[in-house]
Amino acid sequence: MKPSKTLFSEYKMGEIPLKNRFLMAPMTRSRASQPGDIPNALMAEYYGQLASAGIIITEATQVSLQGKGYANTPGIYTKAQIEGWKLVTNEVHKKGSKIFLQLWHVGRVSSAKVNGLQPIAPSEKIAKETNVYIFDGAPNGDATFVPVETPREMTKADINQVIEEFKIGAKNAIEAGFDGVEIHGANGYLIDEFLRSNSNERTDEYGGSKENRVRILKEITQAVADEIGKGKTGVRLSPFISFKDMNDPEILETIMIASEALEEIGVTYIHLCEADWDDAPEIPNDFRVKLRNTFSKTLIATGNKTPEQANDLLGKNLVDLVGFGRKFLTNPDYPERVKKQAKMNEISDTHTLFGGGAARGYTDYPFLEKSVSS
């Protein structure tokens, strides 16, 4: 009898071989060098430590200054940023893992206090009870949260500009040495804002029907796939997450239409970002089965899964890779700890989750052998 797939099974994602099915999930850490939002040697050390994962998806990375919503997050639209990311990809590849860059435009989830620009979005509709952060010199280095601002409704020229920015971002990512890119279509940011009827009130070809609301995702994805290859292009979606004022009763049907379009384009994966709080809604199996029947390539699930839950999903062929975020954040050798059922490091100081220029709370979590010997 053929053994069941587990987290430790090798996997071939299209033409990309992965040593295991652990995926390091994207997590914003706000360590980019200023000015210029440039990736740096400290970030390279951080990602290199995480190379025990079969594949790493980077923190969300803005495709333009307009697409930036949080302070000190990295970009992928200048030469200096490309050179900075080369430090990261070289380190990860040297350590034997693969790495995709997550391409990001925050849309309405921003403030002029972050980037000096009025946010843009499908419609002039503010995200209620939503904040972003800046660093304004607080003594403890903490971020200061500020409310998002009312966005400007995007013109057709704005839409074309954003499509071009994603395409150039993808091209730049390959120049920087990444194995591929993930288009961030989740969590209430620009593409997700277009997908949902409550944030997209347009009456042109990018609004109204579900098919129209999927249009910008299709056009961005096609542009990226044409630029770097569909085998290097993945997409992240979040059908069951509604924070940032994104509760849309039509979203599941819309996501299925989007999945059909992504299947037709031939992208290498769909990455489901799932709710990760303790009493979060579980994605029902019938949705997973329907998605598996709709999309023939790699499916990824991320959302506070235990290894046991991950192996159950893998064994049932409902997903192919499973992402882990906070467990990797504090345990860079997470797969080894899972294998040995070893004690896990916990978050040592929440003040170091976002921002900070030093290793504390970023690259100083001990590896298993150091924990045992100390």
Residues annotated as catalytic (active site), given as ranges = 189
Cα–Cα dist 184/195, whole Å: 12
Cα–Cα dist 163/151, whole Å: 18
Q: Which amino acid is at 203?
A: T
- Number of H helices and E strands in the chain, helices first, is 13, 14
Question: Please, are residues 347 and 21 in contact by the beta-carbon 8 Å criterion?
Answer: no
Coil/strand/helix, residue 112: helix
**CA 190, 191, 197 angle in degrees (round to 5)?**
95
Residue 296 has φ and ψ, to the nearest 5°, of: -95, -10
- DSSP collapsed to 3 states, 188-242: CCHHHHHHCCCCCCCCCCCCCCHHHHCHHHHHHHHHHHHHHCHHHEEEEECCCCC
The secondary structure of residue 275, as a DSSP letter, is -
Coil/strand/helix, residue 133: strand
Residue 109 has φ and ψ, to the nearest 5°, of: -85, 70
The secondary structure of residue 344, as a DSSP letter, is P
DSSP letters spanning 348-373 = S-GGGSS--SSSTTTT-SPPHHHHHH
Question: Please, are residues 324 and 26 in contact by the beta-carbon 8 Å criterion?
Answer: no
Look at residues 149, 37, 49 and name the one whose alpha carbon lies nearest to residue 96: 49
Residue 135 exposed, middle or buried by CB count within 10 Å (0-12, 13-18, 19+): middle
